Structure 1
Amino acid sequence: MHIQDLLDAARAGVLPSEEAAIALADCEDTKALASVAATLRDRGCLNLITYSKKVFIPLTHLCRDVCHYCTFAQTPKTLNSPYMPLDRVLDVARKGAEMGCKEALFSLGEKPELRHTVAREALAEMGYETTLQYLRDAAATVLEETGLLPHLNPGTMTPEEIASLRPVSPSMGIMLESASDRLTEIGMPHYGSPDKLPSVRLQTLRDAGAANIPFSTGILIGIGETRRERIESLLAIRELHEAHGHIQEIIIQNFRAKPNTAMHRSPEPALTELLWTIAVTRILFGAEMSVQAPPNLSPGAFGQIIAAGINDWGGVSPLTPDFINPEAPWPHLEELARETELAGKHLHERLTIYPAYAQNLNKWVDAGLKTRILKLIDAEGLPRTDDWSAGEDRSPPVDVLAGIATVPARVSGDLVTILDRAKAGRDLDETDVIRLFRARGDDFNAVVQAANDLRRKANGDVVSFVVNRNINYTNICYFKCQFCAFSQGKYSENLRGRPYDLSLDDIQRRTRAAWMRGGSEVCMQGGIHPEYTGQTYIDIVKAVKAAVPEMHVHAFSPLEVWQGAASSNLGLEGYLEQLKQAGLSTLPGTAAEILDDEVRAVICPDKIDTSQWFEVMETAHEVGFKTTATIMFGHVDRPKHWARHLLRIRALQKKTGGFTEFVPLPFVHMQAPIYLKGKARRGPTFREAMLVHAVARLALNPYITNIQASWVKLGRTGVVAALNAGCNDLGGTLMNESITRAAGAAHGQETSPQQMRELIQSANRTPRQRATDYGDADPAAIARGMGTGGLAG
């Protein structure tokens, strides 16, 4: 195959065959290779360059191998202690945790006890037979005591040794370095090193794949290998990855000559060799593979390395040196971020386990590690980098707030195309919407600002709200939704408060009180009480209308409607007609959570499914009801689920026009059963919360023009930020919000009309009190609401 044809095919996403890959060894056009590699990298990794903030823990410098370029391995007489004592290991790990590190990289020589008597004696004194036994306990202790995630580089291992280390380490690694047997011959760098035999190292990689362990590997260039041998080494890795899918990164490490080694006079590879190898690696592995080059080994060349196709800098420590290359200090993270930004990319932290593997923990990590990792990650599997959570009284992260207001310097070309389509009112597809949700750095700024431009075009600078009262008539529920901290079972008095069931008199009293305080709406939802029938809901509506005939009744989730219809034997349409005759005005689009059955099977398996939710909504629209639509996100869901949810809402809106607004509801995790069981993330990050609001505006344009922000979930500062990210409505003043409070939120149960106006004005917007259907509020209701005090009960 002609090289240009090969590169054209690679650019189109076709991985080169083995024959075509070998042909690349004769390609001298590094610039052409890098152009294809950068295109592929951008396709798979967008504008992100990642790194892991870590500490390096050299558990032992003893090794049975004698690689001719290595200064890490030392002889017993040069060491004060054969092994790093556990208290010293913990001291380093604790200091790293205090500095924000999330990974503890354990580096060590290969099975030194097989060569050194002093190693065997030291292990025996500590109560171990092997170095890997001590490694296991050291990693377990670091994990328990500091929370740092261990990444282990113990060298070659048997399947049994791999299995023993899996419970204490979400990822491991071994550098293949080279698959060339020639490098193990006399006079070559791996001569006399039994663990550097390519067949032995490849077997460890193969066994790790069989054990479903995310693995790091790579090649060392400049130690006497040819370009063809590099490609053959990469192909050997690719073959194993195609079989098991476990190679999470390919490291391209350039040889550095070191004093006091056999290769101290050997020439180091030129920068062009490094760039050539990075580009070829990207082409051989495609868009999705992580390709890494250590930044400390190539100072001053960051931009060129990025242009060659990397997406990761590897581990960078603010505390410990690179013990493998001690002569090469780490760049400061501020410098790395600046250089990465100058290359048009956004630097973001990652965990030792890469995002794709962190999103599939059931397969890729030991069960005992799942909860720890879930608490650390966002919906894409990258680490949370702030302490904000929905419902908590914490300030949003400064960098996200700044991004909402800062004009982006450089926006990814594919994102610009999607945003232009969204602003023109053209329908986005699932791939487009997922791309919007993945926006970070300047891309994030561009998404939220495009959403805000659409908001301004559709709604001007007016922000609306409704004065309403929540009446949650019962918290008794026979469903077992894993996200809900509000509902109570029959025997739950000692869990989250006492069960209750309001009488019709109580509902009427609360309705009258709401009316006297300026409320124009009662919003009513509750648990699914086992004794409720369809008639119960009809009686509740009639009770409200008997108490205050003018009150707008916004009530009953699709789940309640489904249950009511099932018990009434009327069918959905007939039952909804009865509710309408009783006085029901509009329906809340709750019980939606995530409208994708893949997620619902985890968080609410006994609840109505996606198709049933839409059946209720479509029938309600056909009967003449207007409804809202919601999403509750940030638990076990991912961007693809958010995208599907939005597009399904859009499809029904195009058909019926029955949705008045879309309401994103960030998951409040604190008291949620699924979180307390260690099976969910701790809600969305603030960036994700802003994106869901912004992307909803873009994806639903022009079909739904009201995007609401929840002050209960976001807090005052968060709400103002959302108003600058595409939102135009703040929902209701609530009076007795119960459901979010039960989940652990701290932002209050009520806000007054005056406070709502002040909040909106603080965002330089014009407040507008509205009716539920977005018409103007009754002036008499506005007057009643002014100057009222707190709610008595």
Structure 2
Amino acid sequence: MKSINGTNADSILIDLEAVTLAELMARAEAATLAHHSALVTYSRKVFIPLTQLCRDVCQYCTFATTPAKIGKAYLNRDEVLAIARAGVAAGCREALFTLGDRPEDRYNAARSALTELGHESTLSYVREMAEAVLVETGLLPHLNPGLMNDADYAMLRPVAASMGLMLETTSNRLSEKGGPHYGSPDKLPAVRLEALEAAGRARVPFTTGILIGIGETRLERIEALLAIRESHARHGHVQEVIVQNFKAKAGTKMVNHPEPSLDDHLWTIAAARLILGAEMTIQVPPNLHAPEELAVLLAAGANDWGGVSPVTPDHVNPEAPWPHLDVLTKATAAAGRVLVERLAIGPNFSLNADEWLDPALAVTVRKQVDARGLPVVESWRAGGEELPPALPQSGETCSTPAIQSIIDRASAGDRLSIDEIETLFRADGPDVAFITAAADELRSKAAGDTVSYVVNRNINYTNICLYKCSFCAFSKGGNKDMRGPAYLIDEAEVGRRAAEAVERGATEVCLQGGIHPDFDGHTYHRILTAVRMAAPGIHIHAFSPLEIMHGAQTLGKPLEDYLAWLKEAGLSTLPGTAAEILDDEVRAIICPDKVTTAEWLDVMRAAHSVGIRSTATIMFGHVDRYDHWAKHLLAIRDLQEETGGFTEFVPLPFVHMEAPMWRKGKSRSGPSFREAILMHAVARLVLHPLISNIQASWVKLGPEGVVEALRAGVNDLGGILMDESITRAAGGQNGQIFGPNRMADIAGSAGRGIRQRTTIYGNIGHPAKETNGVCHVE
């Protein structure tokens, strides 16, 4: 009973009741963990009760009231924005609009109020207020305005990240006289099911659910869940299903109606998980149970707490205050789970924002999320000046045993699968500390406890480029100039800078540039000759695989022959840039005219075959997913197993600030700090024992970020990078040189020693010194 695929409610009920509650919950929890791992989501939101008037008279509701009791039909614009701004100040990301269903159809007061507000309907006013909140505060609206048709959804979709309508039940008898829905035309199952279908046709990320304990049978609950499943199967639009327990409220006709027991609620949660499948998000409101009962709700198959507000009460259940987030975090941890924020739009939908959202909203959402589709809650960004957040402390979750098994395989040198690598990247909470500690232990065994660096100078000889990589703010010609003019440094100046680098203590020059329209294979040979003549002893680390491919093709030479020719001219090693993500699905988006995955690997294979070693890189956190990261790491591992030519692996977090694709709203805003640190740790695990050196980029991570990376499997800090310009062109703020003294300080902050190395990790007999920020050799 891993899942239930049948459509006969009677037979499903027989199957569900054939096992004990404990067994049912165990199966439901296993399905939940298999897809959602240990993560439990919630949305930090404010509730905006736009109106508490409603044309329905549900027998258990205390939210809906009358004009005589409320005094004012609708909140005005200032009141709505005041609530929203209070939410922003409290760190909220969602504005949930709660309101009654079409009160103007019942109350003159509602019609009059709408006329004064300049609207013909409540839904029209909802649109105006949702747009005001979205534009003026940035909160993402989630709308619960009751029954809607195709035209209504089309009108509201541009201003809403998601919408919702509780199905509650498909039992017609509950709308009969004496039933809880008697006198409530909007609660008829047929009209609610049609509203659910209309949402699917409109491509609206949708929240629905069932309300248990109002007089329905278990069979009727299953029928309702099957109806939701069938609608979702047609449209794919249901982002979460709420399994809400009835609470008797004073002042209602059902004040003495018995509430469902905890066991009954657990049974229904487990049934929902097994019927709706492992991928569905199952939500349970946390304020309708005692804090000590919350952990068991997760054990039954729930993986979401819904909206929790630090600002406003639950207007539908005002007698049940929201648990403090600390309480919710502890209760979640007690179930072996990790509490994380989500947006109003679910993570699977936010990752496909172009399909599910209005274009402007899609950009807003895309810029907020990580590769899981969850919001990046810290202010740290790659290349920025903000301090990174504290990483989670050690501990265990329900996912820890599976992660331990993966780590054991990696430590033994086994090749991990894509699914196993994705599992590592999805880790959160204590499991992040678990993975980084394992990676650091492996680093100590494979590379020792001394941190290394190289004294080098970057010479980016031109920023003019034929290619149109959408992430690149450095190149001029393919993209609009953003940071400075186009330039081309002649060969004599390249040689002069190389000689100056030697005088300043550099052992390496790193040469890279754009693909200038006048360049051919001879150009790169002349550059090497100029450097070698000006600085005979310098290590020349030069030319991306794109440049090598371009040079070879323009001369009609095989890669091996061309690389051997460059080697004779002085080429020592190749940088592993132009890799970005080694998956053609991603490359088709971010660099469609650049080298393919196979071509990049071919250049590296050819270089290694003629005795030219190289680095390997990954540029991550833009439009890529964890499976893309996994494929990239495995491609590097497989080639290393074949050739042994890679000296190191260098993760390069995407710096978004000036990147053209980010400015156009086509990418995320770089990785989260959790993702950035995990990339270094997971790379250590995946590439073991074939690549011993994992490097952290101080330009991308910043000094504090580098210290954390050194505790996560990193053993090298790269070069001091005199004249680094590519990251700065993208908006990076972390300087143009990071001298030996600062390198030593960073290593010391991580409790490690420091050594200067050669490009290929040999020892330096006479390390460079630093005086007044200038390197020199004594």
TM-score relative to the length of structure 1: 0.96
Instruction: State the Cα RMSD in Å.
Output: 1.5
Match of 2:525 in 1: 538
For 1:463, what is the secondary structure of its paired residue? strand
For 1:301, what is the secondary structure of its paired residue? helix
**1:572-621: CA deviation from partner (whole Å, max 9, x where unpaired):** 12211111111100000100111111111111111111111111111111
Residue correspondence of structure 1 range 239-278 to structure 2 within 5 A:
239-278=230-269
- In the alignment, structure 1 residue 310 sits paired with structure 2 residue 298: no
For 2:367, what is the secondary structure of its paired residue? helix
Contact 1:302 / 1:340 at 8 angstroms: preserved in 2? Answer: yes
Match of 1:187 in 2: 178
- In the alignment, structure 1 residue 386 sits paired with structure 2 residue 374: no
Contact 2:333 / 2:397 at 8 angstroms: preserved in 1? Answer: no
- Tell me by how many angstroms 1:16 deviates: 4.6
Q: Which moved more, 1:205-214 or 1:226-235?
A: 205-214
Match of 1:153 in 2: 144
Match of 1:716 in 2: 703
For 1:749, what is the secondary structure of its paired residue? coil
For 1:260, what is the secondary structure of its paired residue? coil
Residue correspondence of structure 1 range 86-97 to structure 2 within 5 A:
86-97=77-88
**1:535-554: CA deviation from partner (whole Å, max 9, x where unpaired):** 00000001111011111100
Contact 2:479 / 2:660 at 8 angstroms: preserved in 1? Answer: no
For 1:97, what is the secondary structure of its paired residue? helix
Residue correspondence of structure 1 range 68-217 to structure 2 within 5 A:
68-217=59-208
Q: Distance in 1 between matches of 2:220 and 2:773?
A: 79
Match of 2:288 among 279, 283, 297: 297
- In the alignment, structure 1 residue 475 sits paired with structure 2 residue 463: yes
For 2:648, what is the secondary structure of its paired residue? strand
Residue correspondence of structure 1 range 700-779 to structure 2 within 5 A:
700-779=687-766
Match of 1:611 in 2: 598
Match of 1:444 in 2: 432
Equivalent pairs, count:
774
**Corresponding letter in the other structure for 1:556:** F
**Corresponding letter in the other structure for 2:37:** L
- In the alignment, structure 1 residue 21 sits paired with structure 2 residue 22: no
Match of 2:320 in 1: 328
Contact 2:16 / 2:24 at 8 angstroms: preserved in 1? Answer: no
Q: Distance in 2 between matches of 1:114 and 1:271?
A: 38
Query: Quick one: percent identity of the two aligned structures?
Result: 55
Q: Distance in 2 between matches of 1:157 and 1:407?
A: 46
**Corresponding letter in the other structure for 1:683:** G
**1:282-310: CA deviation from partner (whole Å, max 9, x where unpaired):** 11112111111101001131121111111
- In the alignment, structure 1 residue 637 sits paired with structure 2 residue 621: no
- In the alignment, structure 1 residue 585 sits paired with structure 2 residue 577: no
Gaps of 5+ in 2: none
- Tell me by how many angstroms 1:102 deviates: 0.4
Q: Distance in 1 between matches of 2:480 and 2:270?
A: 60
- Tell me by how many angstroms 1:17 deviates: 4.6
**1:188-235: CA deviation from partner (whole Å, max 9, x where unpaired):** 111111111111001111111111111000000000000000011100
For 1:607, what is the secondary structure of its paired residue? coil
- In the alignment, structure 1 residue 416 sits paired with structure 2 residue 407: no
For 1:478, what is the secondary structure of its paired residue? coil
- Tell me by how many angstroms 1:262 deviates: 1.3
Contact 2:543 / 2:574 at 8 angstroms: preserved in 1? Answer: yes
Q: Distance in 2 between matches of 1:541 and 1:508?
A: 9
**Corresponding letter in the other structure for 1:630:** T
Match of 1:365 in 2: 357
Contact 2:37 / 2:398 at 8 angstroms: preserved in 1? Answer: no
- Tell me by how many angstroms 1:753 deviates: 2.0
Match of 2:655 in 1: 668
Q: Distance in 2 between matches of 1:363 and 1:644?
A: 25
- In the alignment, structure 1 residue 45 sits paired with structure 2 residue 36: yes
**1:164-190: CA deviation from partner (whole Å, max 9, x where unpaired):** 110000111100000111111111111
Q: Distance in 2 between matches of 1:789 and 1:165?
A: 58
- In the alignment, structure 1 residue 787 sits paired with structure 2 residue 776: no
**Corresponding letter in the other structure for 1:725:** A
**1:696-722: CA deviation from partner (whole Å, max 9, x where unpaired):** 001111111110000111111111110
- In the alignment, structure 1 residue 525 sits paired with structure 2 residue 512: yes
Q: Distance in 2 between matches of 1:101 and 1:490?
A: 39
- Tell me by how many angstroms 1:358 deviates: 0.6
**1:86-139: CA deviation from partner (whole Å, max 9, x where unpaired):** 110000000001100000000111111111111111111111111000000100
Q: Distance in 1 between matches of 2:136 and 2:294?
A: 36
**1:660-693: CA deviation from partner (whole Å, max 9, x where unpaired):** 1000001111111111111111111111100000
Residue correspondence of structure 1 range 565-584 to structure 2 within 5 A:
565-584=552-571
For 1:249, what is the secondary structure of its paired residue? strand
Q: Distance in 1 between matches of 2:104 and 2:495?
A: 80
Match of 1:4 in 2: none
Match of 1:3 in 2: none
Q: Distance in 2 between matches of 1:639 and 1:766?
A: 33
Match of 1:514 among 495, 501, 504: 501
For 1:376, what is the secondary structure of its paired residue? coil
Hey, which bits of structure 1, 4+ residues long, moved more than 6 A?
Answer: none
**Corresponding letter in the other structure for 1:448:** T
Contact 1:346 / 1:440 at 8 angstroms: preserved in 2? Answer: yes
For 2:771, what is the secondary structure of its paired residue? coil
**1:765-788: CA deviation from partner (whole Å, max 9, x where unpaired):** 121111111111242xx25x4437
- In the alignment, structure 1 residue 428 sits paired with structure 2 residue 416: yes
Contact 2:739 / 2:775 at 8 angstroms: preserved in 1? Answer: no
Contact 1:595 / 1:644 at 8 angstroms: preserved in 2? Answer: yes
- In the alignment, structure 1 residue 626 sits paired with structure 2 residue 613: yes
Q: Which moved more, 1:504-513 or 1:21-30?
A: 21-30
Q: Distance in 2 between matches of 1:643 and 1:752?
A: 33
For 2:180, what is the secondary structure of its paired residue? coil
